[in-house]
Each structure stands twice: as structure tokens, then as C-alpha cells.
Amino acid sequence: MSAKSESHAAPAEPTLPQAATIRAAALVAILAFLMVAPFLFYPIFLMKLLCFALFASAFNLLLGYTGFLSFGHAAFFGGAAYVSAHAVKEWGVTPEVGILLGVAFAAALGLVMGLIAIRRTGIYFAMITLALSQMFFFFCLQAPFTHGEDGLQGVPRGHLFGVIDLSSQTNMYFFVLAVFLLGVGIVWRFVNSPFGMILKSIRENEARAVSLGYSVAGYKLGAFVMSAALAGLAGGTKALVFQFATLTDVAWQMSGEVILMTLLGGIGTLIGPVVGAGLVVTLQNYLATSDFPVTIITGVVFMVCVLLFRRGLIGEFYASRLGRRLGFRPER
């Protein structure tokens, strides 16, 4: 997607000589904060945040870097949640195996959905992913092993690698943090890899990519499956954090939520989805205790973002003078 009305180039802003150092220092500071955070904030809240930040990053891999808006990512997130929860609870596997099974499921589902959806682009792609994930929702509603409206409850955290007891919130937090860093690292690596470069060229000029001999469909499908798998990683982990998996995880509202997180934070930026997820999860937490209708706020934020704020928070920052001075370049 591109915000065509903002396509004029930002005036050249000299990068501060210390820009690279500042960016590195900021990164270190954030990591340091993440290490001590569980001792300052409620760990479950932080873990929820990390899971959704990973989910949003996975989604952004598809939207921000490939230009495909998927309205059905809840299927991968929730589907993996169900599979991981079931594997750990019913089959008694260790948590990391459970999560990997969830990832595998999400990737497979991504392959199937992708094969169907890739046949159209743009809006049609979005509508198809929505319809397919709704189909998956109905399947989950009726399948016996999901326990329908009740969901899969009482999922044990288990022992990581058979050794580390994850029922301790601190242990679980650091595990989730590791998963998050791994996931985001994969996204970063993917975007900057040759595969990612080709995807970017497909997004900019598909006809030329085809004429250069690239199997465009193959690359699009690869990105879709990768995005689905990482969303599955987030979902499987989330199932262990909260120790349940429900229909909410596969509902279209969840797909909408992850879109909002990415839009709010900044499409096509690496930390944008993380920031967006942080904001949305915090807001939901805050509103959960009050009487205020979350849906209305979500809807209004969506509209405001689309009308006025398309680059998202991080995108706006990157495009601002300070951002450019610090050496950030907006995606487009």
C-alpha cells in the first residue's frame, strides 16, 4: 500500500554524525528495559504485549513489505493457538514442541489459503482472506476438539525442554521475550534478504519482475506462508501464556485488531507494529475495567488513522525532521 498523497520526497536532512550511535544506544536501552520489565510491570500483561507485537510484526511482513492486505490472519494466530494448546494439554508434549506444532499448522494453513487467495490481488485478496478465515472460524466453531464456545481451557505451561518450569511467571516471561526477539529477528532478516529484496521489487513493479524471470506467484506465496507461520508462532505462544485458546482468537475481529495495530504503529516499519500493538493492548487493558465500548474506540481510531495518520506513529516519526536527522528513512 502506498499513501500516494505523501509521495513527494522529504527535503534532504543531514544525518547527525552521531546518528548510528544514537540508534544503537536506543536499541540497547530498549533491550535493557525489556530485561527488567517483569519486575516493574505485571508479567502477564507484558507477555500479552509481546505476543501481539509479534503477531503484528508477522502481519506487517505481508502488508508492509509485500503490499498484501490480509483480512484473515486470525486463522493462523488462533489456529496455532488451538493446535499448541491441544498438543500440550492432550498429547503432553513439552511447550516448545507444542508451539512448533502450532507454527507448522499455521504454515500449512497459510499454504492452502495462500494458494487460493494469491490468484487475485488488492481488494479481492483482502476479501478472499476474510472469507477463507471465516470458513475456518465456522470449522472451529463446530469441530469437537476446540470445545466450541467454551474453548480449550486449562492448558498447562509445562517444562521448557523438559527442564525449565514455565509456570513461574518470570521464566515464562523470558521465554516469551526470547520467542519475540527470535520472531522479530526473522522478520528483519527476511526483509533484508535477497528474497525480501525481490518481494520489494515485485511490489514496486510486478510486470518488470515477471519479465526478469521471477516466479512472482512463488515469491508472494512464500511471503504469505512466512507471515502465517510467524503469526502462528505468536498464537501458539499466547495460548501457553494465557493457558487457553478460544474462538475469539480465530474471529474476524482479531484480524481487524492486528490490522489496526500495524496501521497505528506504522505500516512497513520494523518497530511500528510493535509500538502499535503496545498501544492497542494497553488501551484495551485500560478500557476493560471501565464501561467504555472498545469497539467504538477501535472503529474511530481506524477511521482517524486512515484519514489523517496513514503513516502511523513510527512512520510519522521517521518522516519528521528528528527522525531524518537520526538517519531513518521512511519506507516510501
| Residue 318 in grid coordinates | 521517521
The least distance separating other proteins from the CB of residue 9, rounded to whole angstroms, comes to: 9
Residue 49: CB minimum distance to other proteins, A: 22
74 binds other proteins (CB under 8 A): no
Size of the site for other proteins (CB under 8 A): 45
Nearer to other proteins, 97 or 287 (CB): 287
Report the 10 Å Cβ neighbour count for 7: 8
Q: How far is the CB of 113 from other proteins (least distance, A)?
A: 9
Among 2, 15, 169, 284, binds other proteins (CB under 8 A): 2
Q: Where are the beta strands (DSSP E) in the chain?
A: 159-160, 164-165
Least gap, CB of 330 to other proteins (angstroms)? 16
Q: Which residue has the cell 520489494?
A: 200
Is residue 287 close enough to count as binding other proteins by CB under 8 A? no
For residue 205 the three cell numbers come to 513493479
Nearest to 195 by CA among 324, 13, 65: 65
Contact characters 227-266, other proteins, x per CB under 8 A: -------------------------x---x--x---x---
Within residues 106-135, the interface with other proteins by CB under 8 A covers: 116-117, 119-120, 122-124, 126-128, 130-132, 134-135
Task: Candidates 46, 51, 53, 69: give the one binding other proteins (CB under 8 A).
Answer: 69
Does 286 help bind other proteins (rule: CB under 8 A)? no
Binding status of residue 22 toward other proteins by CB under 8 A: no
- Nearer to other proteins by Cβ, of 43 and 312: the residue is 312
Q: For 221-238, b where at least 16 C-beta lie within 10 A, e where not — what string?
A: bbbbbbbbbbbbbbbbbb
Nearest approach in angstroms of CB 73 to other proteins is 14
Q: Which of 10, 188, 301, 331 forms a contact with other proteins (CB under 8 A)?
A: 301
With CB under 8 A as the contact rule, the residue among 33, 41, 42, 138 that binds other proteins is 138
The CA distance from 182 to 189, in Å, is 10
Residue 102 C-beta: closest distance to other proteins, Å: 23
Nearer to other proteins, 209 or 264 (CB): 264
Residues 6+ apart with CB under 8 A from 186: 230
Least distance from other proteins to the Cβ atom of residue 129, Å:
10
CA 134 from centre of chain: 19
- Concatenate the DSSP letters of all residues of 77-109 into one string: HHHHHHHHHHHHHHS---HHHHHHHHHHHHHHH
Judged by beta carbon, residue 22 or residue 123, the one nearer other proteins is 123
Concatenated DSSP letters of 183-252 = HHHHHHHHHTSHHHHHHHHHHH-HHHHHHTT--HHHHHHHHHHHHHHHHHHHHHHHHHHHT-B-GGGGSH
How far, in Å, CA of 60 to CA of 37, rounded? 25
- Pick the binder of other proteins from 178, 300, 321, 329 (CB under 8 A): 300
Q: Pick the closest to residue 226 from 18, 89, 57 (CA basis).
A: 57
Cell numbers for 77: 494466530
Choosing from 195, 214, 302, 309, the residue that interacts with other proteins (CB under 8 A) is 302
Helix (H, G, I), strand (E, B) or coil at 165: strand
Contact residues toward other proteins (CB under 8 A) are 1-5, 8, 69, 116-117, 119-120, 122-124, 126-128, 130-132, 134-135, 138-139, 141-142, 252, 256, 259, 263, 293-303, 305-307, 310
